[in-house]
Structure 1
Amino acid sequence: MIQIGLCDDDLAILSQLQVLLDRYQVERNAEITSAAFQSPLELLAEIEKGMRFDILLLDVLMPGENGIDAAREIRRYDNNVKIIFLTSSSEFAVESYTVGAYFYQLKPIWEENFFRLMDAVIAECEKSSGMSLILRCKSGITRVELNRLEYCEVLGRSLWLHLVGGAVLESAGRMDHLCEQLADHENFLRVHRSFLINLDYVRNIMPKAITMASLAELPIPRGKYGELKDRYLEYAFQRKQVFL
């Protein structure tokens, strides 16, 4: 299911976008849900509460706070949402890409162009969906890019996800379920009942511990060193990494 947010202070534009989305959904047999907002402040309030979108259609010029500034705020909570700016002027085109815009759509919006844009952005969402996790954290619903996940550990009844750069997210859930979600990703390996690692960030493997890129040392169960070392070497050779 693709979640789309619409934000424009012009009710006529919001109505047009909803009609176009409805037509697109029928013609493409697409699974889409949408939510409309008349101001960026309303949109930001919902995002701060934990609402997440795959795609945002965001007007640039709106009273109170323009779309570019709103996008900067949104990026504090979600780096993955595809933002498409809507405007009748190309004045902010260059600035829009400084906040990671996916596209800059000039008004008026024609159905053929809109459908072509939706085809492209939804295909991109579906491609990247397999490369991220959606987690319920204390900070709200959070999307985590898998290539930023260094390792995960169980502490108490929570999962603690350690990301590249030092950020740590606490999430409810079970390690068994997380491993099931990542079963198709060969770079993730459960090395202990309480630890799951990303093999791309292994720095050293010793008989009693694995050292990660962050210098965190994770324990190796007794008798598992040989198996884990072989699994890592197999993965490294498949990735054509060189050993000297």
Structure 2
Amino acid sequence: MRAAFVDNNRQDMDTLISMITKYSNNSFNITSYDIYLNGESFLSEFSTNKYDIVFLDIFMDKLTGVDVAFELRKTDKNVQIVFCTTSNEFATESYQVDAFYYLVKPFSDSNIQNLIHKLSSFDFELSQFITLPGGIKIYPRNIIYTEYENHKIIIYQKDGNNPCFRMSQHQWEEMICNYSYIVNCFKGVIVNLYEVESKTDNSFSMSNGETLPISRRNIKDINTIYSDFLFQKLRKDMLK
């Protein structure tokens, strides 16, 4: 889980990180995080799909946490927002930006544990979507594979709806390959590892019956990514 902590009170931030680390479990675990001491520095480095969850203090100098939340929601509808504050007066605004949770300072063990419980039962991957040119929304988990042909991207999906749009492969990779289960396996071909039925030394067999080649040049890296994916998927399945 990739997280960002935004708070102008470093002591409060360190306390929150320590408590979340203490109560994290196999279902919810922050693997990497960044720290920002104000909303301006966070927004200057923020990009769509960079984080899975953002912890935002509401009372900060200049931009408040609510201001920051409205700004990030303009480009990222998927990231989960947790507000941190000494008061609940902004509860209405938290609904407007689809906040996941509201942590009241000083943080209590019970409040943090309740947050972790909710996060543990929430499937982040299934809720994430991206917006294509023309305003079409798709869920990356619904993708089987994508193909670049004649300056267009074709997306083959599990529901049979296969949108096609004009975009360079490089631009598409920057948009879609932030998801750990999405892999560029061959020139112009990107696969969703959840939809791989089987794998040989040089190809993936997909859930829709297609066989897709694996680049010889990147075979070692792809093998490592696929092995890590299978391990993480097995761990998730065991915890269900």
Which amino acid is 1:75 matched to? Answer: R
**Deviation of the 1:89 alpha carbon:** 1.2
**Deviation of the 1:95 alpha carbon:** 1.3
Q: Secondary structure at the match of 1:171?
A: helix
**Deviation of the 1:24 alpha carbon:** 2.4
Question: In the alignment, is residue 178 of structure 1 matched against residue 191 of structure 2?
Answer: yes
2:55 alignment counterpart: 57
TM-score (norm 2): 0.59
Residue 115 (structure 1) aligned to one of 97, 113, 116: 113
8 Å contact from structure 2 (residues 28, 119) kept in 1: no
**Deviation of the 1:47 alpha carbon:** 1.0
**Deviation of the 1:78 alpha carbon:** 1.4
Give the 3 Å change call, closer, same or farther, for CA 131–39 of structure 1 in structure 2. closer
**Deviation of the 1:45 alpha carbon:** 1.4
2:11 alignment counterpart: 12
- The count of aligned residue pairs is 179
Q: Secondary structure at the match of 2:46?
A: helix
Give the 3 Å change call, closer, same or farther, for CA 168–16 of structure 1 in structure 2. farther
8 Å contact from structure 2 (residues 28, 116) kept in 1: no
Q: Secondary structure at the match of 2:103?
A: strand
8 Å contact from structure 1 (residues 47, 77) kept in 2: no
1:97 alignment counterpart: 95
1:129 alignment counterpart: 125
State percent identity of aligned pairs. Answer: 21
8 Å contact from structure 1 (residues 7, 40) kept in 2: yes
8 Å contact from structure 2 (residues 147, 155) kept in 1: yes
Greater per-residue strand proportion: 1
Which amino acid is 2:31 matched to? Answer: I
8 Å contact from structure 1 (residues 160, 171) kept in 2: no
Which residues of structure 1 form unaligned runs of 5+? 138-142, 194-244
Which amino acid is 1:42 matched to? Answer: S
Matches within 5 A, 1:199-238: none
Which amino acid is 1:145 matched to? Answer: Y
Which amino acid is 2:139 matched to? Answer: E
Give the 3 Å change call, closer, same or farther, for CA 181–105 of structure 1 in structure 2. same
Aligned CA RMSD, in angstroms, stands at 4.1
Distance 1:24 1:41 in 2: 30
**C-alpha offsets along residues 59-85 of structure 1, whole Å, 9 cap, x if unaligned?**
111111111111111112211111011
Matches within 5 A, 1:64-83: 64-83=62-81
8 Å contact from structure 1 (residues 25, 32) kept in 2: no
Distance 1:157 1:23 in 2: 49
**Deviation of the 1:21 alpha carbon:** 2.5
Distance 2:107 2:82 in 1: 12
1:36 alignment counterpart: 35
Once structures 1 and 2 are overlaid, which stretch shifts more, 151-160 or 55-64?
Answer: 151-160
Which residues of structure 2 form unaligned runs of 5+? 174-183, 198-206, 213-240
